[in-house]
Amino acid sequence: MASFARTLVVSMLMCYILFINHTAKCDNDSEDSLFQGINQYRTTLNLSGLTENDKAECLADEMADQFKGQPCTNTTGSNTVQGNEPQFANYPRLLAKCDLNVTNTRDGKIMPVCVPNLNATLVLSNYTLSQYSQYLNDTAYTGIGIGTEENWMVVVLTTNTSEGSFVPANGNGVVNFAIKLGPVSHYLVLLSGFFMIL
Ligand SMILES: *[C@@H]1O[C@H](CO)[C@@H](O)[C@H](O)[C@H]1NC(C)=O
Ligand SMILES: *[C@@H]1O[C@H](CO)[C@@H](O)[C@H](O)[C@H]1NC(C)=O
Ligand SMILES: *[C@@H]1O[C@H](CO)[C@@H](O)[C@H](O)[C@H]1NC(C)=O
Ligand SMILES: *[C@@H]1O[C@H](CO)[C@@H](O)[C@H](O)[C@H]1NC(C)=O
Ligand SMILES: *[C@@H]1O[C@H](CO)[C@@H](O)[C@H](O)[C@H]1NC(C)=O
Ligand SMILES: *[C@@H]1O[C@H](CO)[C@@H](O)[C@H](O)[C@H]1NC(C)=O
Ligand SMILES: *[C@@H]1O[C@H](CO)[C@@H](O)[C@H](O)[C@H]1NC(C)=O
Ligand SMILES: CC(=O)N[C@H]1CO[C@H](CO)[C@@H](O)[C@@H]1O
């Protein structure tokens, strides 16, 4: 009986590991292709490419999570009428989760789109051929983070000024390090669980 329980737990852990790898990969494909598409667009406008920003990516992930379960309509995502952007009461908490606050994110720009199955062509055109294009065509923005959830994709643009750098003002390197290690610590927790039951 004990060995059955052990086998069950081990196979559940295996599924979990595979599942994490799988979703990470799916997200990465759509995010990567959008990242490249946006920078190609910037090149055609004679602007320098945007560099990846870990904190912006963290916030983009958190924001995408907020849209989970919401359907695509003609008033969501890139169709949102300016002034009617969705407001999230827990926004300060989402910022805090990413070790950010309003001071260092004020000049950033959050741009959600909703595209069934994240069709890569439509995702890119939802940025380059919509109201969002004016922000991509802006030298003020220098960094980018991309998050995905279901049919939702969220781009967060950052600046190189202190109000939009998405760099914690206290410059706490330890926190940065911990977040970079995020995926690895998943495995460490899993591994220690693995050894505990053996
Ligand atoms: C981009 O820059 C090049 C050289 O600096 C110039 O010849 C070209 O007209 C520019 N294109 C646009 C779209 O500004
Ligand atoms: C959005 O869709 C609804 C019905 O689905 C339609 O009545 C409305 O005119 C559409 N609005 C725009 C701006 O396309
Ligand atoms: C944005 O994506 C939607 C699909 O949700 C599509 O119908 C629409 O044409 C796209 N808009 C642009 C400007 O590409
Ligand atoms: C993505 O959308 C475009 C335009 O609607 C369509 O031509 C293309 O076949 C779609 N691609 C996929 C993989 O569904
Ligand atoms: C990008 O911005 C420049 C300067 O504001 C403007 O001249 C140009 O028409 C814009 N291009 C597009 C495609 O929006
Ligand atoms: C910020 O970015 C702008 C535009 O890319 C550049 O001209 C400026 O030198 C940058 N400033 C710093 C402090 O990196
Ligand atoms: C944001 O964080 C910085 C330190 O990282 C702090 O100096 C600043 O007061 C904070 N701003 C708010 C509004 O909490
Ligand atoms: C946008 C993004 O996260 N892209 C990453 C996808 O994964 C490859 C490696 O597998 C990285 O090099 C990219 O930076």
The answer, yes or no, to whether any atom of ligand 7 lies below 6 A from the CB of 161, is no
Average pLDDT for residues 94-110, to the nearest whole number? 94
- Considering its fold, how many domains does the chain have in total? 1
Q: What is the number of the ligand 4 atom nearest to the C-alpha of 117?
A: 14
Distance CA 122, CA 17 (A): 31
The answer, yes or no, to whether any atom of ligand 4 lies below 6 A from the CB of 121, is yes
Average pLDDT for residues 65-76, to the nearest whole number? 94
Which band of pLDDT confidence, cut at 50, 70 and 90, is reported for residue 85? confident
Least confident of 53-67, 131-145, 180-194: 180-194
pTM summary value: 0.76
Atom 2 in ligand 5: which residue has the minimum CA distance?
A: 137
- For residue 26, pLDDT over 50 is answered with yes
- Residue with the bigger pLDDT between 132 and 168: it is 132
- Candidate of 26, 72, 121 to mutate for ligand 4, largest count of ligand atoms within 8 Å of Cβ: 121
Distance CA 163, CA 104 (A): 4
What was the pLDDT predicted at 23?
Answer: 47
- Cα-to-centroid distance, 152 and ligand 3 (Å): 12
- For residue 116, pLDDT over 90 is answered with yes
Q: What is the number of the ligand 7 atom nearest to the C-alpha of 104?
A: 1
Q: What is the mean pLDDT of the chain?
A: 83
From 89, 84, 90, select the one nearest 112 (Cα to Cα).
84
- Cα-to-centroid distance, 96 and ligand 4 (Å): 38
DSSP string across 104-142: HHTT-EEEEEE-GGG-HHHHHHHHHTSTTHHHHT-TTEE
Nearest ligand to the CA atom of 143: 6
Q: What is the number of the ligand 7 atom nearest to the C-alpha of 168?
A: 5
Quote the domain boundaries for residue 80: 2-197
Contact (Cβ atoms closer than 8 angstroms) between residue 77 and residue 112: yes
pLDDT tens digits, 158-168: 999 999 999 98
Question: Which residue ranges have their beta carbon within 6 Å of ligand 5?
Answer: 45, 133, 137
Measured in degrees and rounded to the nearest 5, phi and psi for residue 188 equal -60, -45
DSSP string across 148-181: EETTEEEEEEEESSTTTS---TT--HHHHHHHHT
DSSP string across 8-53: HHHHHHHHHHHHHHHHHHHHHHHHHHHHHHHHHHHHHTT-PPPEE-
- Cα-to-centroid distance, 47 and ligand 6 (Å): 12
CATH number at residue 188: 3.40.33.10
Atom 12 in ligand 4: which residue has the minimum CA distance?
A: 119
Distance CA 81, CA 79 (A): 6
- Cα-to-centroid distance, 83 and ligand 8 (Å): 34
Nearest ligand to the CA atom of 50: 6
